């Protein structure tokens, strides 16, 4: 067309064909350039005091965040990157320099007047965050900053819109955890259309069991809980989520045999998920009779009832404190495992237990205690500088528990892969930093010594235990050295009689008899303080 106009229309100004493309390019390109230029100006000038952000991680995730902030500043300005890859040092990303590695964080925060530190990495995030905060704290917190993070690239890609969701770092980010493989399809096939009984449904684990099971389309979920207020709140929560037609809330105790008989007669649960327990170590040290009544005898009563009504699966929530126990609580949970062993193979019910460590944010957890102490101005109390513990999130622990329940063949003691243990004093220091304070300056860390029943470290397996693979990378099976040990009717009668006595010594002696690995604590008469913890035997 342009050729026809150029050669055949003599009165048509041919210069238009040459000038028009240039004018079009100037207008179209100029508009696009103006948009970019104004965005850049807004990024430079938006707000009188934009928050100055330092990004740790000069990879894909960090670059995505930078581009999003440059396009939509939202009161933020990125002043630099840090990265452990020395090859990136001295370079720039979209005009923002990479200023060094993690060892430079305190210097850069001070020099660049940083307000926010964003950790934008995809791998080993927990360790990186704790290391960075350790370097920052060691430098005396040169400037008050907020530490933040965001989802990994895999998490972002799974969303419909690739938008970084910047949030404050919380305690779960400090754990050296990794993404675990959870096969909820296997669980759903076992739960769908069936009646599930959850004991201790108002507690941290029981409540999360109820939430996850309700989402798998069961016919009914029975919530059994002896704490009325806790039951009220989990009942209210599940009804507000739309599960009112599924749940049946029952205030009651696992030791109430007539109640259990009525529940099993009426609803005939296919699965029992047993999370009811006395779990606080210190309280159970002073009340061993109550620990045995609930954690041992109560577990047996519930399990015996389940067997009588042909329940398909019975999963007992145990604890890593049942491994070579030093506490009455741990010993009572080990006795509960032994009670299940005595029932295994005598009915069609598949009995199994699962052990794991501390759950973040559970009632009475060290994390909640530390936060309360920090808000009160300190001191933060830690038992010993060398104490370490395993931690899991509630959601992760419960998902793996349900996997174990679905895959079990009966008779197993499952052990969850707890990842790397965390030093409690490091957790305390990092929580202080997260609150914008300086450990040992703004908030004192006070060492109090181990309490009765506590260990320096928790164990997942004993030296004599056999560890077996289950086909799941995060779930193992432990075969204890005394694998054949169970509780006979005579044993249970003895425990029942001793639990009715006011004197705790006969109960402690009987626990030691049934569990030779139980070390216990030396005790003084009532009114005296417990002595310091004796060294733990090597097994």
Question: Residue 520 region, left (φ>0) first, then alpha (ψ -120 to 50), else beta?
Answer: left
Q: Which of 147, 169, 191 is the last residue of a domain?
A: 169
pLDDT tens-digit map of 179-204: 555 667 888 888 999 999 999 999 99
359, two tokens: 């759950």
Residue 181: inside a domain: no
* pLDDT for 529: 39
Catalytic residue among 279, 293, 321, 350: 321
Chain-centroid distance of CA 95 in Å reads 38
Residue 269: inside a domain: no
Residue 374: inside a domain: no
Task: Tell me the average pLDDT across 402-420.
Answer: 85
Lowest mean pLDDT of 54-58, 358-362, 507-511, name the range: 358-362
Note whether 33 and 139 are same-domain residues.
no
Identify any residues that bridge with 98 across adjacent strands, giving them in sequence order. 81
Residue 266: inside a domain: no
* pLDDT for 415: 86
Task: Tell me the average pLDDT across 394-401.
Answer: 86
Note whether 152 and 61 are same-domain residues.
yes
* pLDDT for 480: 63
pLDDT confidence band for 396 (50 / 70 / 90): confident
Identify any residues that bridge with 354 across adjacent strands, giving them in sequence order. 317, 414
Peptide bond into 63 cis (omega under 30): no
Q: How far apart are CA 531 and CA 509, in angstroms?
A: 19
Note whether 32 and 111 are same-domain residues.
no
Residue 70: inside a domain: yes
* pLDDT for 526: 43
Phi then psi dihedrals of residue 196, to 5 deg:
-120, 130
Residue 450: inside a domain: no
* pLDDT for 527: 41
Which of 243, 315, 246 minimizes the C-alpha distance to 275? 315
Task: Tell me the average pLDDT across 468-491.
Answer: 73
Note whether 76 and 25 are same-domain residues.
no
pLDDT confidence band for 359 (50 / 70 / 90): confident
Q: Which domain holds residue 154?
A: 51-169
Q: Which of 125, 151, 169 is the last residue of a domain?
A: 169
Question: Residue 112 region, left (φ>0) first, then alpha (ψ -120 to 50), else beta?
Answer: alpha
The CA-CA-CA angle for residues 178, 180, 181, to 5°, reads 155
C-beta of residue 335 within 8 angstroms of C-beta of residue 295? yes
Q: How far apart are CA 235 and CA 223, in angstroms?
A: 8
**Any idea of the CA torsion for 471, 475, 476, 477, to the nearest 10 degrees?**
-100
C-beta of residue 314 within 8 angstroms of C-beta of residue 350? yes
423 an active-site residue? Answer: no
Note whether 33 and 58 are same-domain residues.
no
pLDDT tens-digit map of 310-352: 999 999 999 988 888 889 999 999 999 999 988 988 899 999 9
**Any idea of the CA torsion for 200, 204, 206, 208, to the nearest 10 degrees?**
160
**Model pTM?**
0.75
CATH code where residue 99 lies: 3.40.50.720
Residue 355: inside a domain: no
Note whether 82 and 132 are same-domain residues.
yes
Residue 136: inside a domain: yes
Which of 127, 126, 135, 124 minimizes the C-alpha distance to 54? 135
**Buried/exposed 90-111: b ≥16 CB within 10 Å, e otherwise:** eeebeebebbbbbebbbebbee
Strands 146-149 and 167-168 turn out to be: antiparallel
Q: How far apart are CA 444 and CA 29, in angstroms?
A: 61
pLDDT confidence band for 418 (50 / 70 / 90): confident
Lowest mean pLDDT of 38-42, 389-393, 402-406, name the range: 38-42
Quote the number of domains for the chain: 2
Note whether 90 and 23 are same-domain residues.
no
532, two tokens: 């310091």
Start-to-end CA distance of the chain, whole Å, equals 94
Q: Which of 169, 185, 200 is the last residue of a domain?
A: 169
Note whether 127 and 156 are same-domain residues.
yes
Which of 308, 297, 346, 354 minimizes the C-alpha distance to 477? 354
Note whether 19 and 93 are same-domain residues.
no
Note whether 88 and 40 are same-domain residues.
no
Q: How far apart are CA 150 and CA 155, in angstroms?
A: 9
Q: How far apart are CA 281 and CA 329, in angstroms?
A: 6
For the ranges 47-61, 215-229, 446-460, the maximum mean pLDDT occurs at 215-229
The owner of tokens 């998920």 is 273
Note whether 126 and 145 are same-domain residues.
yes
**Any idea of the CA torsion for 123, 128, 130, 132, to the nearest 10 degrees?**
-150
Helix, coil or strand: residue 374 = helix
Lowest mean pLDDT of 24-38, 119-133, 296-310, 438-452, name the range: 24-38
Note whether 15 and 58 are same-domain residues.
no
């Amino acid at each position: 067309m342009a050729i026809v106009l150029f050669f055949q229309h003599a009165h048509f100004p041919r210069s238009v064909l040459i000038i028009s493309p240039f004018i079009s390019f100037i207008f179209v390109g100029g508009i696009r350039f103006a948009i970019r230029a104004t965005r850049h100006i807004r990024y430079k000038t938006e707000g009188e005091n934009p928050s100055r952000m330092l990004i740790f991680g000069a990879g894909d995730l960090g670059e995505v965040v930078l581009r999003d902030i440059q396009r939509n500043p939202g009161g933020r300005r990125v002043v630099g990157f840090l990265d452990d890859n020395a090859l990136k040092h001295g370079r720039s990303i979209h005009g923002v320099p990479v200023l060094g590695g993690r060892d430079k964080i305190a210097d850069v925060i001070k020099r660049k007047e940083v307000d926010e530190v964003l950790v934008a990495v995809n791998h080993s995030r927990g360790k990186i965050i704790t290391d960075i905060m350790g370097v920052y704290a060691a430098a005396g917190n040169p400037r008050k900053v907020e530490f933040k993070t965001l989802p990994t690239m895999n998490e972002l890609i799974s969303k419909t819109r690739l938008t970084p969701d910047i949030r404050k770092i919380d305690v779960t980010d400090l754990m050296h955890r990794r993404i675990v493989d959870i096969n909820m399809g296997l669980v759903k096939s076992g739960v769908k259309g069936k009646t599930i009984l959850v004991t201790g449904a108002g507690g941290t684990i029981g409540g999360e069991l109820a939430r996850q099971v309700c989402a798998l389309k069961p016919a009914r979920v029975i919530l059994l809980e002896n704490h009325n207020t806790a039951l009220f709140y989990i009942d209210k929560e599940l009804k507000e989520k739309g599960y009112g037609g599924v749940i049946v809330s029952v205030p009651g105790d696992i030791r109430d045999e007539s109640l259990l008989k009525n529940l099993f007669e009426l609803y005939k649960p296919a699965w029992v998920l047993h999370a009811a327990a006395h779990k606080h170590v210190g309280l159970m040290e002073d009340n061993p009779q109550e620990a045995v009544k609930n954690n041992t005898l109560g577990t047996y009563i519930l399990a015996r009832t389940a067997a009588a009504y042909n329940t398909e699966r019975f999963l007992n929530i145990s604890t890593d404190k049942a491994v070579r126990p030093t506490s009455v609580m741990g010993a009572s949970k080990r006795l509960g495992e032994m009670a299940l062993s005595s029932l295994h193979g005598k009915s069609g019910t598949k009995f199994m237990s699962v052990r794991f460590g501390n759950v973040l944010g559970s009632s009475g957890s060290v994390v909640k205690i530390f936060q309360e102490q920090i808000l009160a101005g300190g001191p933060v109390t830690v038992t010993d500088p060398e104490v370490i513990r395993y931690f899991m999130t509630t959601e992760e622990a419960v998902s793996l528990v349900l996997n174990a329940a679905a895959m079990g063949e009966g008779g197993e003691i499952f052990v969850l892969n707890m990842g790397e243990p965390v030093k409690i004093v490091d957790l305390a220091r990092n929580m202080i930093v997260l609150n914008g304070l300086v450990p040992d300056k703004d908030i004192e860390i006070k060492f109090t010594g181990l309490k009765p029943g506590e260990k320096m470290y928790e164990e997942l397996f004993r030296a004599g235990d056999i560890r077996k693979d289950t086909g799941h990378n995060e779930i193992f099976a432990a075969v204890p050295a005394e694998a054949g040990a169970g509780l006979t009717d005579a044993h249970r009668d003895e425990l029942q009689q001793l639990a009715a006595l006011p004197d705790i010594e006969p109960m402690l002696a009987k626990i030691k008899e049934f569990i030779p690995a139980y070390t216990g604590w030396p005790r003084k008469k009532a009114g005296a303080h417990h002595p310091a913890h004796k060294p733990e035997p090597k097994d």
